[in-house]
Structure 1
Amino acid sequence: MITFDTLISADELAAAQKSGAPLMVLDCSFELTDPQAGQRAYDSGHLPGARYVHLDQVLSTTKTGRNGRHPLPSRETFAAAMAALGLDADTQVVAYDNAGGMYAARLWWMLRWAGHPAVAVLDGGIAAWKAAGHALSQDAPGAPAPGSFRLKPSLVTTVSYDEVQANIDSAERLVLDARAPDRFRGENETMDPIGGHIPGARNRLFKDNLGADGRFKPAAQLRREFDAITEGRPAAQLVNQCGSGVTACHNLLAMEVAGLRGAALYPGSWSEWSAQPGAPIATGAA
């Protein structure tokens, strides 16, 4: 069994495809402002053998107005969806997208949430695949045979709205917000009705995990940058959030690459937090 559990390069993925080992490649391309753009991008050209996974339809569940913009499905529902795609317990999964990994990281985190350790994100996404000289395909793979995947103990940690609210006073954990700095400050909010951030949170824009080439920065550099923001706190004392629980997973992936394993996700994130009556809200840079 191949065992990539954070990132995989384009050449490593190409070699894995040739090896004949159990492998599933999933295209997670998406645009928040155009939910069908990812499917169109997939149809125009994707990695050979890849299947498309839609953020709203597979990686999220029904919105209630209080549970955020991309609420998690149940673990059981998600596991069944992955088995329907052909996932077996010994399958190496590789997720990619056309947006620097911001959507692929959500699938990476969710598979770990379901107890599947052999999942990695294609470093640099479809752009890196093409830059390495590998071909794309417009062929849609046939219907998969159902896989045998079943839930296992979760490999990740989540926290609820109530836990994050209680933490404001205790400050036992530090919240890292993956949104753009202007949204963190409460300016130019376009996705959610209310701008601002969770009191006590610090800002770590997920895009800062990437270098100029669109790939993740080296592990040592990521570690230095996270330690500078968190003042060296261990991962177990960190909670990651964003607008809707998607790009926070990018920070969680970067932290894993940096050796900071075990940080939690607040899945509802700002879109859930700001929808709760009386939720405390801070604005400004701190």
Structure 2
Amino acid sequence: MLVTLLAASPALSDYKDSYSRGLEAAKDGDWATVRQRMQEAIQDNPTAAPRVRLYGQRWEPYVPQFYLGLAAFKQGDCATALAQWRSSANSGVIAGVPNLKAEQDRNAAACDTRVAQQPKTDPPKTDPRPDTGTTTPTTPDGGRETPRPPPPKIEPPKTEPPKTEPPKTEPPKTEPPKAPPKPAETPLAQRVPATLLDAFRNYLGGRYADVARINPDSFSDARSRAQAYLIRAAARQIQAEIDNSATGLDAARADIRAVRAANPSLVPDPALFSPRFRSLYSATR
């Protein structure tokens, strides 16, 4: 599927993809996924920002350290939560997002209380003097007498009969058959028509008028034709909301019906399409 291939392509999928998926997981309370996605976003871009465009017209604060700390807090890991919240990358931006800052301060205070209530354990005390198990004899005048060491024990040498072991024989080693080499994967640009690939790039770049000019009926195979109708429907929906055009919204619905006719199993990927378009897609029959 083209949408899956584009989401996996390094040129089109970056930290915004991981961050968007992490936000969706946070809404569902899936904190393990939040932790994984935010770590991926930080690896690609550790610099927090007060506002970034994730896709289309969706703008969000980019604060992956805050959400990584929140996931750790929900999982009971206060040490990681406090470290992420108090990092310089997070503290410089989170102060400008009041609702997230209030939640962070409330949870950080709860973590501080937990740490303060943890009992302290002291290491066991040991006697520095070694216990020899013997007492030092004393002289009649009360002085200590130097103990005499016991005479050494002399044991007769032990003789053991020589051991004879049968020669060891090992079965011949057999190597498992080697798997045939996997065929080289065809590059994305060779698997997807160039016109369709350009349309997806224009959509991700916000050039919706260019996307609307694509002709889905020019593609001979049903899969590419369904993908073309899908990307054109998404571009028409966004442009119709910008222009407040009911005609443009009807055109987007017509493209959605054409998608279902060409490929009934095709579903918009949440990483590429906005929630508003996905809602329109589900409601259009």
Where is the helix percentage greater, Structure 1 or Structure 2?
A: 2
Whichever of the two has the greater Rg, that structure is: 2
| Interval of TM-score (by shorter of Structure 1 and Structure 2) | under 0.3
Q: TM-score w.r.t. structure 2 length?
A: 0.17
Q: TM-score w.r.t. structure 1 length?
A: 0.17
